[in-house]
Amino acid sequence: MRQHHRTPRLLGTLLLVAAAGISLVGAAPHTEAAAPPVRVVPAPASVEPGGSPYRITGDTRIRVDDSREARTVGDYLADILRPSTGYRLPVTSHGAGAIRLRLGGKGLGAEGYRLDSGRSGVTITAGRPAGLFHGVQTLRQLLPAAVEKDSVQRGPWLIAGGTIEDTPRYAYRGAMLDVSRHFFTVAQVKHYIDELALYKVNKLHLHLSDDQGWRIAVDSWPRLAAHGGSTQVGGGQGGFYTKADYREIVRYASSRYLEVVPEIDMPGHTNAALASYAELNCDGVAPPLYTGTDVGFSSLCVNKPLTYDFVDDVIRELAAITPGGYLHIGGDEAHSTSHADYVTFMDKVQPLVAKYGKKVIGWHQLTGATPAKGAIAQYWGLDDTGAEEKAQVARAAQNGTGLVLSPADRLYLDMKYTADTPLGQDWAGLVEVRRAYDWDPGGYLPGVPASAVKGVEAPLWTETIVTSADIDVMAFPRLPGAAELGWSPASTHDWDTYKVRLAAQGPRWDALGIGYYRSPQVPWPAR
Ligand code: ACM
């Protein structure tokens, strides 16, 4: 595997072409010898195709290690396979089983896995349960797209023979959902989590507060949710998560091996809080709720001691229901806060995050203050953001601040694909599928040590996004590209082979009911 990480680009490409070559034999999908093509997104670190395929039949059993986590991943796999195959597929922790989920093996890290497939069965081996789960996502993609349907389909259910060894390039592979501009229910968030899990995304960043809505219950400041959560962009009724709701999102995300990263955006983007409590305002007057889409007009009152009681309470309560390691404190577009106040505010707030046992993440403007030790800055600039701003981020990275890259003209899923895209915005530009995929996080920002890059994240802002179908058409097909940038070794990066693998996802999304943008850049199979 290590070897393959260092594989030169050409050889990596050849490996993928070799893998894709199986599809030539697979051209007649209903013949006995044919295996489906190996067209996996994100590209695995190494694929060695060869040998006979395994065929799932009515006799197949799923044998798992005798641990709660392995059993749960086995049940998850069975739940995917049973409706479309129509087979019983018992999950068992003893005896034989042709599909085997094993904990063990060395060198696979916290999330890696090895998948061995041959005539007698398929074994997924991982050091940790997360690796088994990611291996299961790969296994899904080795099966025909019809496996994703929820009614019985015709097989055969062949899995190409060979070995895949796979570990992620980056530990932080995120997606953000803005639940403030428009509120999304727990069920809608779970739906998105399931989609993220398909592509091995492991962080769900929830943008829980903004000018237009406060979306998380805080017991010590109840009007934040009750009043601040009572509307949204356009004036709809909004909503908020109770603590039980939030815990349920966290639990569900964790069952898909995603960690929730909650964001309370401060000191700007705070109109919903300021509207809920007059005393948080410097002039003691609460502004009205806001349902428009302007930015940069609100600020917490940096010189009022009460502001820090408020922030302490919010962070304490949120940290208490967040098992993950991070708490995102926003820090973007604080245009109504002076620079000196911004620095003062961040100096006071970052220690509160540490006080409650979490690490700070902030939008990259945090690098204009003094990022706390261990903090991560999330870069949301553009390719042509000024050299000075990039240099400020690079200096922070040189001084130990980690970076998560979300270039707005690459990874903002709310940017329109073309001028004709009905939803979304275009302030960062038009972002077609190739543009979203075709860059290297490792070398993106000049002067940033490669080790400072912790990963990538694809944010979805929801000023224009209202339904799950809206989420789907903006996230697909760009989200899988972001996920691949986070997971796959740079040696596999190649648009021409990527677009073929991406095209193979289309029938899967059709089977799953995910409506996506049929970009003309991608050679989708005919429907
Ligand atoms: C941002 O897009 N204001 C982080």
Three-state helix/strand/coil letters over 414-471: CECCCCCCCCCECCCCCCCHHHHHCCCHHHCCCCCCHHHEEEEEEEECCCCCCCHHHH
Per the CB < 8 A criterion, the answer to whether 162 and 51 are in contact is yes
Q: How far is CA 22 from the centre of its chain?
A: 30
Q: Which amino acid is at 176?
A: M
The mean predicted confidence, pLDDT, of the chain is 94
The candidate with the shortest Cα–Cα distance to 451, out of 486, 411, 489, 401, is 401
Domain covering 172-491 assigned CATH 3.30.980.10 in the classification: no
User: How do residues 362-416 score in pLDDT, each as one tens digit?
Assistant: 999 999 999 999 999 999 999 999 999 999 999 999 999 999 999 999 999 999 9
The response to whether residue 380 sits with its C-beta less than 6 Å from ligand 1 reads: yes
The response to whether residue 333 sits with its C-beta less than 6 Å from ligand 1 reads: yes
Per the CB < 8 A criterion, the answer to whether 83 and 511 are in contact is no
The response to whether residue 332 sits with its C-beta less than 6 Å from ligand 1 reads: yes
Instruction: Tell which atom from ligand 1 comes closest to the C-alpha of 269.
Output: 3
Average pLDDT over residues 197-226: 98
DSSP H helices, 453-516, are: 468-475, 478-487, 495-503, 506-512
Average pLDDT over residues 106-129: 97
- Cα 406 to averaged position of ligand 1 atoms, centre (Å): 10
Q: Where are the domain boundaries for CATH 3.30.379.10 in the chain? A: 8-166
The candidate with the shortest Cα–Cα distance to 270, out of 326, 200, 207, 313, is 207
Contacts of 219 (CB under 8 A, 6+ apart): 243, 317
Cα–Cα distance between 331 and 456 in angstroms, integer? Answer: 18
* Confidence band, pLDDT 50/70/90 cuts, at residue 35: low
Coil, strand or helix: which one is 326?
strand
pTM of the prediction?
0.94
Cα–Cα distance between 216 and 264 in angstroms, integer? Answer: 9
Whether 479 has a pLDDT exceeding 70, the answer reads: yes
Average pLDDT over residues 260-264: 99
| Ligand 1 pocket: which of 211, 363, 379, 404 to mutate (most atoms within 8 A of CB) | 363
User: How do residues 38-83 score in pLDDT, each as one tens digit?
Assistant: 899 999 999 999 999 999 999 999 999 999 999 999 999 999 999 9
Average pLDDT over residues 118-128: 98
DSSP state of 374: T
| H or E segment to which residue 403 belongs | strand 402-405
Radius of gyration (C-alpha) of the chain in whole angstroms:
23
Q: Which CATH superfamily is domain 8-166 in?
A: Chitobiase/beta-hexosaminidase domain 2-like (3.30.379.10)
Q: Where are the domain boundaries for CATH 3.20.20.80 in the chain? A: 172-491
Tell me whether residue 503 is exposed, middle or buried, using C-beta atoms within 10 angstroms of its C-beta: 0 to 12, 13 to 18, 19 or more: middle
Q: Whose alpha carbon is nearest atom 3 of ligand 1? A: 332
User: How do residues 327-336 score in pLDDT, each as one tens digit?
Assistant: 999 999 999 9
Tell me whether residue 493 is exposed, middle or buried, using C-beta atoms within 10 angstroms of its C-beta: 0 to 12, 13 to 18, 19 or more: buried
User: How do residues 147-203 score in pLDDT, each as one tens digit?
Assistant: 999 999 999 999 999 999 999 999 999 999 999 999 999 999 999 999 999 999 999
| H or E segment to which residue 48 belongs | strand 46-49
pLDDT for the residue numbered 30:
41
pLDDT-above-70 percentage for the chain = 93
* Confidence band, pLDDT 50/70/90 cuts, at residue 506: very high
- Cα 295 to averaged position of ligand 1 atoms, centre (Å): 9
Q: Which residue has the higher pLDDT, 340 or 106?
A: 340
The candidate with the shortest Cα–Cα distance to 88, out of 79, 98, 76, is 79
User: How do residues 281-295 score in pLDDT, each as one tens digit?
Assistant: 999 999 999 999 999
pLDDT for the residue numbered 24:
31
The b-or-e profile of 65-89 (16+ CB within 10 A means b, else e) is beeebbbbbbebbbebbeebbebeb
Residue 154: CB atoms within 10 A of its CB come to 12
What's the Cα-to-Cα distance from 281 to each of 217, 278, 286, rounded to whole Å? 20, 6, 7
Whether 15 has a pLDDT exceeding 90, the answer reads: no
Per the CB < 8 A criterion, the answer to whether 329 and 362 are in contact is yes
